[in-house]
A and B are shown apart, each in its own frame.
Chain A
Amino acid sequence: MIASQVKISDLQVIKALNQLSEDHLLKLTSEMVRRHYSPGQYIFIEGDEATGLWFILEGKVKIIKQSDSGRLQGLCLANRGKCFGSCPLFDTDTNPANAQALDDVALAILPRDAVKNLIYSDVEIANCLLKVYTDRMGLLARLGECLGTWTVGMRINDCLIAHAKIVDDISIVELTHEEIAILVGTAREVVTRHLSELESTDLIKTDPGKITLLEPEIIKSPCILEQGNQE
């Protein structure tokens, strides 16, 4: 892990901070530290003391919860521009989940005390944070619905749609079966079985390292995908 200064230009990729003036961004960068993580490296561990808010400048981070028995449940895959980490103001002072770098990741961290001070002193920054937490609330509400009411097959289909990238008019998903299993909250074998069924009916095509969605509209129905879950 390497630490360095955060520049205003670094924060241009952060959607949550887009509306802030240069003065506000300067206030933030004066408190932030830039850190780099290698693929597979843990950024923080569930239950450890929360250190602040993390903004992704480059790379992809996996946010996952873990049970006492070691089972994993993915909360999200966060890309460049997204924010994660707990709000340190209140009764939760520990990390609610694990965060792990999926590739080479550059993060800007806003330390816990700085978050508190900025909320008190700056209404614009407080409003930005409110938007961040409100968006996260929506994601968790949807995840609650998925886990409580959807079948595993529906959750896998939804995961494929949510993580599809369009390349030359074709929808491609670059997730392993294991990653899909963690995001959906099931076993890898269940994912493999379901993907085989989809492939047998020509809805997808699987190759090493990628899944091509041949009929995304059919895979999508009857799940309604909300915009917030698309990259």
Chain B
Amino acid sequence: MTDVSMKILEQVPILHQLGEQICQLLLANTSILEFKSNEIIYNHGEMLQGLYALTSGHVKLYRESGERVQILALLRQGDCFGTEALSDDPQSSYIAASLKHAKVLFIPKDTINQLMVHHPQVRVAILQLTTSRLKQFATLVHNLAFRDVTARLATVILMRVEEDGVQRLDGIHVPRLMTQSELATMVGTGREVVLRIFKKLEAQNIIRVSRKEILVLDSDKLHQIAEEENR
């Protein structure tokens, strides 16, 4: 663990916007944790001890059922997770793990609970984090229930476009973050189905897939596919 400076908190907007006084109080008890690729941060059922804020890399929140996995959310720099630690029942309902190498700020729950007592804006921030995660899970449920797997995959590609897409003359270049298996667990299907859909979208000149990136050739068409509710 290493000491944390105010500069690192700037990477977590929802904490940084609480103001300097509260940030200083947070920093007094905050530490940095580093995780290698696919390392578990906490397990389903584990009693959480504090809030985590992602300062670099990506984290996946997922559930397992036998050998099958469903990714519930993919987090990026600036996202926070683990607000369950602050409720009466701090048990996690999912697994949190690094996708690749990740750096995370850890703030013990006692620190945040103290701040929540005296600072209403901290209460608001924590509730904001919780309900944002709730909205994210509700969107996943909606997509799994009403959108077919092609629409769901299109949604994930568009999410990546927004995060890391670079517009060039030939289209939008998106670096590959996940393996095909991980993509499959995100959309709730198998790896072979993802491969088949990629081929179909390539044949329609909507995307081009290589080992290192996805090139989006027709983002309008991709948006259209993502919004279809076929189920």
A interface with B by C-beta (< 8 Å):
19, 65, 67-69, 71, 73, 75, 86-87, 89-92, 96-97, 119-121, 123, 126-127, 129-131, 133-138, 140-145, 147-150, 185, 222
Contacts and interface: CB of A to CB of B under 8 A. Distances in A.
B144 A144 contact: yes
Interface in B68-97: 68-70, 72, 83-84, 86-89, 91, 93-94
Interface string B88-124: 1101011000000000000000000000110010011
Nearest to B189: A148
B229 A67 contact: yes
B126 interface: yes
B13 to A, nearest CB: 14
Given A90-B131, A119-B127, A134-B89, A145 B84 contact: no
Contacts of A123: 116-117, 123
B22 to A, nearest CB: 15
Contacts, number: 135
Interface residues of B, number: 45
Given A67-B145, A123-B123, A147-B145, A141 B63 contact: yes
Given A89-B131, A141-B137, A149 B120 contact: no
A65 B130 contact: no
B94 A141 contact: yes
Contacts of B196: none
Residue of A91, A121, A137, A147 most packed against chain B (CB within 10 A):
A137
Contact of B70 (A91, A133, A144): A144
A120 B123 contact: yes
A120 B122 CA distance: 9
Nearest to A124: B117
Contact of A73 (B86, B126, B132, B141): B141
Across chains A and B, which 3 residue pairs bring their CB atoms closest together, nearest first?
A148-B70, A148-B188, A138-B93
Contact of B63 (A133, A134, A145, A222): A145
B138 A131 contact: no
A75 B141 contact: yes
Contacts of B64: 145
B144 A147 contact: yes
B66 interface: yes
